[in-house]
Structure 1
Amino acid sequence: MLWNWQLPDWPKFQYDAARLQSAEAQFLKGAGIVVGALHHLDGDARQGFTIELISQEMVDSSAIEGEVLDRASVQSSLARQLGFASDPRKANAAEAGAAELMADLYRSYADPLEDQKLFDWHSMLMKGDRHIKEIGAYRTHADEMQIVSGALHAPRVHFEAPPSASVPAEMHRFLQWFNDSAPGAAASMPAILRAAIAHLWFETIHPFEDGNGRIGRAIAEKALAQSLEAPTLTALAETIKRHRKAYYAELHQASQTNHIDQWLIWFADIVLEAQKRTIQKIRFLVEKAKLLERVREKINSRQEKALLRMFAEGPDGFRGGLSAGNYQTITSATSATATRDLAELVELGALVRQGERRYARYRLAINSGD
């Protein structure tokens, strides 16, 4: 099998940009909605949302690669990196490094992409790692750079990257293209098209011993941010994680050809879904503030605790809805008290009940959808 980089037309990707026109227009419209929705949040809420979303992006990006990071630790470290107040929670090296990378991406999204920037990101990401030889530098090992699965005696090769000796030249060509295709540059490209190609191209080169997926997704985020002329608040990694199996399948398919329409269309759908989730999260926060203000001084401490716990679950809420049993667990209320409290919350318009008696389930009375 020949990989895309071994084909004679590499890296002259072939595609029909017209097929993304609708997605590009939706993305730009969605960006305006994000900006408008953020204006409904006060300064503290907007700051908290930004930190929460960015930190969750790195947690999810790491999870795609099988690395588990503590969200609260990354969030606390990120807040410190951005100069915001935070709790004194101690982050480990991996969590602190991940937060440092995301803070740098947030601050320097408009800067050109250069080798040294990628080296810096890799050094941040690999803090405390003792398993790889080259940190903050492109790989130089003579062995094939392969993505494999299966047993050691019969491995399945999903992809093989260009040899290490080719990496400097490949990255020079990639970085020149990335900067030349930026908004206002010589060969400016639309947002989603550029981000999709950038991610695929970088993952194909696979220039580092480890961390290529996380850095590649950061590059896609940078491309989107540059097109919007603002730090991107798009839940890209979170959405890719939700479609992780398809993500790897599409990358594998795209690694065998330089005709990439299928990859572009899939990636565009992911970007739009990610943006939609971001809008839902912002609207959810706005509705949360409105609901709490509406019932303030009308609810008791148990009811407030339960509502805050439900809000902590985010726009998707409790799986299957809140039950009376859940309410008792959260508040330590008796069965009779839980029934009375929940009925009052429904009457106040804070909750919506579905079902009856022991099958009754409760959801927040808010709408954070389109």
Structure 2
Amino acid sequence: MPWNWTQAEWPNFHYDRAPLERLEQQFLVASGEILGAVRHVSGEDRERLRIDLLSEEAMRTSAIEGEMLDRSSVQSSLRRHFGLGVDIASARPREQGIAEMMVEVYSGFAEPVTDESLCRWHGMLLSHDRGLDMIGAYRRHDEAMQIVSGRIDRQTVHFEAPPSVRVPAEMRAFIDWFNRTTPDGLSPVPALTRAALGHLWFESIHPFEDGNGRIGRALAEKSLAQNIGQPSLIALAYTIERDRRRYYDLLETHQKTLDVTPWILWFGEAVLEAQQVTLARVAFLIAKAKFYDVHRAHLNPRQAKVVERLFRAGPDGFEGGLSAENYIAITGTSRATTTRDLQDLVERGALTRTGERRHTRYRLPI
């Protein structure tokens, strides 16, 4: 099978720059919009936004690999690493590891990539895994590193990475390229192109026994942050996870060729979509602050508890909207009190109501 790394021109990827120019310009414009929007968020809410976005990214990048994390545990670890105190929820080893890596990616975005930094990320991410031979180091095993699926007796090989003996030299070439292509490097490469190429290249080397996808996506976010000179805080893993099958299909396709324009185009569009998700979340947080400015003093404890749960659900809110049954389950109150509370919230403009009878649903007016 002619994997990309077996081809004579490896790792010289080929792509058409012309269709990428529009995406690169859109990325820069949206980056400015995000930075401007965040400036309108107060200090405390800005910290909350940072924790929310990073925890969501940690959970989504893990979900892409089929690993489900506990949100409160991730957020607890993030708060501790950012010096924001420790809340009641304790961080479990798996969540603590991904949170620690995300904090380092965020805080150290401007630092060059090194073998040591990548191996440190790997150690953070997988220190809990007792099934790996190599943690915090590149793979060294003799057997082929393959991406496979299907039954053990009828497996499909989607990709085979370079032999372990080649990994140190492959990573030296990759790291040299990554550090030379920053905006102030010797060979600058536009933001989306650099992030897309870097991710594909790293995934094709597949230097670790496990965790390559999560580290590769973290590298893409570091790359984007370096190109804008700020931590990116974009919902990249969130966007990729929603189109996970397409992501894997395109990775598989472009690990067999050095002509990668379609990969860069798809990845660039995913980044642009991620920026819009981030902008929507910033707008939601600003709207939340305004909501409480108007309504906080008028909410009874039951109403305050339900409103807080609605905001915690994020911009998409409760699936299908809040029902009277939801209200009863959250507050433990009677149906008569629920009816009065909800009617009061609607009359004050704190909730909107749609539907009738058992189909009645309530949503925040945001």
TM bracket, shorter-chain basis: over 0.9
Matched ranges for 1:191-210 at <5 A: 191-210=191-210
Q: Which amino acid aligns with 1:341?
A: D
How far does residue 88 in structure 1 lie from its aligned partner after superposition?
Answer: 4.8
Residue in structure 1 matched with residue 361 of structure 2 by the alignment: 361
Residue in structure 1 matched with residue 140 of structure 2 by the alignment: 140
Matched ranges for 1:287-366 at <5 A: 287-366=287-366
Name the CA distance, whole Å, in 2 between partners of 1:63 and 1:298: 39
Residue in structure 2 matched with residue 188 of structure 1 by the alignment: 188
Question: In structure 1, the residue corresponding to 2:147 is in which secondary structure?
Answer: strand
1:59-83 CA deviation, whole Å, 9 max, x = no partner?
2111211222222112111221122
How far does residue 298 in structure 1 lie from its aligned partner after superposition?
Answer: 2.4
Name the CA distance, whole Å, in 2 between partners of 1:124 and 1:302: 41
Question: In structure 2, the residue corresponding to 1:157 is in which secondary structure?
Answer: strand
Tell whether 2:166 aligns with 1:166.
yes
Taking only aligned residues, the RMSD between alpha carbons, in angstroms, comes to: 1.3
How far does residue 49 in structure 1 lie from its aligned partner after superposition?
Answer: 1.3
1:243-284 CA deviation, whole Å, 9 max, x = no partner?
111111111111111111111111111111111111111111
1:62-119 CA deviation, whole Å, 9 max, x = no partner?
1211222222112111221122222153323222221211111111110111111111
Name the CA distance, whole Å, in 2 between partners of 1:340 and 1:124: 50
Name the CA distance, whole Å, in 1 between partners of 2:359 and 2:150: 45
Residue in structure 2 matched with residue 268 of structure 1 by the alignment: 268
Provide the identity percentage: 52
Tell whether 2:97 aligns with 1:97.
yes
Residue in structure 2 matched with residue 41 of structure 1 by the alignment: 41
Name the CA distance, whole Å, in 2 between partners of 1:266 and 1:140: 33
1:278-316 CA deviation, whole Å, 9 max, x = no partner?
111111111011112111222322222211111111001
More moved, 317-326 vs 299-308: 299-308
Name the CA distance, whole Å, in 2 between partners of 1:38 and 1:100: 23
Q: Which amino acid aligns with 2:57?
A: E
Residue in structure 2 matched with residue 253 of structure 1 by the alignment: 253
Name the CA distance, whole Å, in 2 between partners of 1:300 and 1:137: 55
Matched ranges for 1:104-115 at <5 A: 104-115=104-115
Residue in structure 2 matched with residue 23 of structure 1 by the alignment: 23
More moved, 62-71 vs 162-171: 62-71
How far does residue 131 in structure 1 lie from its aligned partner after superposition?
Answer: 1.0
Name the CA distance, whole Å, in 2 between partners of 1:144 and 1:53: 37
Aligned residues: 366
More moved, 174-183 vs 38-47: 38-47
Name the CA distance, whole Å, in 2 between partners of 1:288 and 1:64: 30
TM-score (norm 2): 0.97
Question: In structure 2, the residue corresponding to 1:231 is in which secondary structure?
Answer: coil
Q: Which amino acid aligns with 1:110?
A: A
Residue in structure 2 matched with residue 62 of structure 1 by the alignment: 62
Structure 2 residues not aligned, in runs of 5+: none
Name the CA distance, whole Å, in 2 between partners of 1:51 and 1:313: 15
Name the CA distance, whole Å, in 2 between partners of 1:336 and 1:100: 47
How far does residue 336 in structure 1 lie from its aligned partner after superposition?
Answer: 3.0
Name the CA distance, whole Å, in 1 between partners of 2:351 and 2:23: 36
More moved, 59-68 vs 194-203: 59-68
Q: Which amino acid aligns with 1:106?
A: Y
Runs of 4+ in 1 over 6 A off after TM superposition: none
Structure 1 residues not aligned, in runs of 5+: none
Name the CA distance, whole Å, in 1 between partners of 2:361 and 2:228: 41
Q: Which amino acid aligns with 2:209?
A: E
Q: Which amino acid aligns with 1:152?
A: I
Q: Which amino acid aligns with 1:207?
A: P
